């Protein structure tokens, strides 16, 4: 019974409404009885059913704990054990909607899109500087409020690239991302991956926000590659080599694009600077896509660019105690999460203090961009109406 909520949780929260449901969980809007705070309450279905599901739950809790200081990354407020010891409940920041719903509503203007991309790149700079990859960047994992403030969520596929390894020797082992947002090296079954994996997804999302439909909607892995090559052109020998996949050469032989479609033709709605940014993110060689930090200096987001506000993770590579290359039993992951619950409570108290300071800093930052932000504020009425209806 997916909709059944554990009595232990109901003693702490008043559940207001269902927000959404996916393969791994269900999310409600809820109010904390003690504080009155409005949160998103997520029930992770049978979080410890098997080793893979337990590892995914462990990654989400532990990586979000470490990243919770950034304004564009969703914050964990609490983790609650279920009486059955099978499910797990997590509370996060409450956000009114997600980018997928807003795109469907067809009400985003250019200024909103610039602001969304800017904030997404800010979040990725922070994540990548901690030697992490998100690996599941897609519209439904980008949360928004009525003023287009953004928070990135769902870190269940997040992966470290720094646990005693280099960028070049981390292996990609599990299912990553919705097909339409996957980079060519992932589709090719690459054994190596870099920050370029996430940046490719940013390019897909940028195009989709303008077109109000997916930019490269492949029906299968091979068809997805065909759609990519139609836009980028067929890969060179160096491109194929850069993917470091034993399957790449044979797959390329089977999926060479039948015709070339210029990006300008399928993205004719985009401003010139947006097209240039997408082209830079759609390099077949992942090393040529640059970094989030470089993209933050692009002309397309120049109106919001502020180097002081675009922080890197300050404490070095994030390590969560259990290597991503090691898979423990489901019971061991459960024990580690339960041990972390008290730590999360203390971190949440510290975070509330830090957020007050951050709000003060953001007020100063907003004054520097006031003229452009005023333009955006005048354009948000349609967004607010949509948010209230989704």
Residues identified as active-site: 136
CA Rg value for the chain: 21
List all residues 6 or more positions away from 49 whose beta carbon is below 8 Å from its beta carbon. 86, 330
Question: What span, in angstroms and rounded, lies between the C-alpha atoms of 1 and 140?
Answer: 24
- Is 42 among the annotated ligand-binding positions? yes
* Pairing relationship of beta strands 38-44 and 88-93 according to DSSP bridges: antiparallel
Structure tokens at 38: 């409005």
**Nearest Cα to 318, choosing from 126, 76, 131, 58?**
131
By the 8 A CB rule, do 91 and 351 touch? no
Q: Enumerate the β-bridge partners of residue 76.
A: 92
Question: What span, in angstroms and rounded, lies between the C-alpha atoms of 254 and 16?
Answer: 51
Annotated binding site for ATP: 42
Binding residue ranges: 42
């Amino acid at each position: 019974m997916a909709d059944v909520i554990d009595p232990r949780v109901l003693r702490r929260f008043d559940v207001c409404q269902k927000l959404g449901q996916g393969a791994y969980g269900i999310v409600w809007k809820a109010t904390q009885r003690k504080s009155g705070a409005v949160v998103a309450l997520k029930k992770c279905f049978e979080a410890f059913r098997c080793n893979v599901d337990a590892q995914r739950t462990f990654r989400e809790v532990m990586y979000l704990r470490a990243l919770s200081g950034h304004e564009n990354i969703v914050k964990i407020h609490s983790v609650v054990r279920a009486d059955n010891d099978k499910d797990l409940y997590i509370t996060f920041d409450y956000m009114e909607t997600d980018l997928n719903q807003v795109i469907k509503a067809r009400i985003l203007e250019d200024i909103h899109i610039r602001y969304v991309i800017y904030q997404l790149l800010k979040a990725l700079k922070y994540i990548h500087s901690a030697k992490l990859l998100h690996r599941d960047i897609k519209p439904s994992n980008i949360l928004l409020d009525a003023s287009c403030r953004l928070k990135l969520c769902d870190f269940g596929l997040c992966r470290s690239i720094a646990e005693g390894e280099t960028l070049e020797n981390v292996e990609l082992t599990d299912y990553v991302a919705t097909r339409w947002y996957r980079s060519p090296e992932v589709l090719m079954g690459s054994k190596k991956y870099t920050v370029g994996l996430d940046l490719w997804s940013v390019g897909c999302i940028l195009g989709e926000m303008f077109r109000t439909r997916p930019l490269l909607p492949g029906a299968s892995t091979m068809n997805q590659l065909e759609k990519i090559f139609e836009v980028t052109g067929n890969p060179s020998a160096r491109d194929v080599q850069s993917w470091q996949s034993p399957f790449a050469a044979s797959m390329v032989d089977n999926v060479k694009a039948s015709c070339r479609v210029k990006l300008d033709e399928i993205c004719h709605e985009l401003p010139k600077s947006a097209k240039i940014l997408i082209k830079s993110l759609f390099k077949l060689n992942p090393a040529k896509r640059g970094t989030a930090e470089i993209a933050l200096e692009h002309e397309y987001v120049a109106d919001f660019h502020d180097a002081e506000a675009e922080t890197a993770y300050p404490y070095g590579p994030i390590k969560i105690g259990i290597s991503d290359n090691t898979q423990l039993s489901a019971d061991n992951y459960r024990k580690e999460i339960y041990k972390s619950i008290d730590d999360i409570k203390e971190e949440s108290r510290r975070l509330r203090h830090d957020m007050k300071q951050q709000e003060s800093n953001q007020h100063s930052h907003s004054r520097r961009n006031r003229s452009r932000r005023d333009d955006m504020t005048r354009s948000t009425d349609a967004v607010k109406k949509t948010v209230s209806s989704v």
